[in-house]
Structure 1
Amino acid sequence: MYSRGDRLLEQVIQLLKNIDTSLHYYINEFGAAIYILLFLMVYFKTAFVILTFLPGDSMVFASGTLAATGDLDFKSLFMLFVAATVLGDSQNFFIGKQLGKLNSENHFLYRLTSDKSIGKAKDFLSDYGRIAITSSRFVPLMRTSVPFVSGYTGYEFRTFLSYNLIGGLIWTTFWLTTGFILGNIPWVEENLFFTLMMVSSAAFIPAIIGFVKQYKKKKEALA
């Protein structure tokens, strides 16, 4: 039997998970306050590894399509999304750094993360270094795990911040501009949900390519 609090929490989670497909409704509902909501969504997604389920690419893309129709302001969206990604990743970095100082993998925040995703993030960071920080935003799970692992392993924050800013600028520019350009196409506007499904699927392409390359390397090593 669900309590009233459980039902309310479930409704809030569903609202947050589906905000990208319901943006037009929330614009009418909240007005200018929608910018605050969008900022917080991206910030919380990047700041806490346990909130990776929140929409990211698809929400920025959807915001771009609404900027194309004049419902949202492109420049305001660009600034707030870049700020949210940089601040969120920095928060995530310092959470990892604090846990690294404690040297405690038993901390509840560490236990709530996936050991597999953390392990992959460590390998990704070790193999590609600064490039990993910039490109991780385009790889599902890595985008939240890499900042956390960077802090946990004692990576220099100034270097992390510089390359994280570059990644945030590229990521925001790509998805927001793509949404803005395609938002002028009637079919995209009329089939936004289907378009967002394709966008969400496209985000997994880098991960699939990486998996295939890793599989080939293992196969060649065993040959």
Structure 2
Amino acid sequence: MIKAFIFDLDGVITDTAHLHFKAWKWLASEKFGIVIDENMHEQLKGLSRMDSLEKILAIHHLNQKYTVKEKVELTTTKNLYYRKLISDITPRDILPGIVELLEEIKGSSYKLALASASKNAIAILKSLDLFQSFDFIADAAIVKKGKPAPDIYLLAAKGLSVAPENCIGIEDAVSGIQSIKHAHMFAVGVGDKRLLHEADYVVSKTEALTLPNMMQAWNNSLVKKKTD
């Protein structure tokens, strides 16, 4: 029985992924003298700050050039730039259909949690005026492993006191879908069905995310399991 819904932030509730990428492009140019392209944008979605930096450095064969301390300083520099970019976020930046969906879920007595890789998640939710909508916010700073490991989704489920198999997770990134599946939850993807093929149910845009549709998809998965 489904008892809770666990949301990612970027690409599901609001879209700051392009701002993350803008900050990474700036850092790569300013500090490394390199240019990162749109292919990298997709690869960085859902990753933690440090994992994103490691990926950029590895692709350009720079991962051995910096100490752990220097890498921490680099991620801090990137985050300061990113925070300037998100300082103007308002409720107008909530993706279409999300306010109505959150209200519908809460009104149906399901629990709500956030499982974002962003350490700025709370600040962003407050800017969107959505902080009070969530029963629990999983802190990316305390999980041992970032997505695609299941840690942050398991932490969210634990924070809600709900078993993972009774949760539906919602993501827009491949690493996020993998995180949900590794946590043994029902995975809902928002975006390209071909890219998010590991999800149990995919919609192309947030407007198509509705409580009845997700519950129907979950019920269909149960029927399929019984007939397999």
- What is the TM-score normalised by the length of structure 2? 0.34
Structure number with larger C-alpha Rg: 1
Instruction: Name the TM-score, length of structure 1 as normaliser.
Output: 0.34
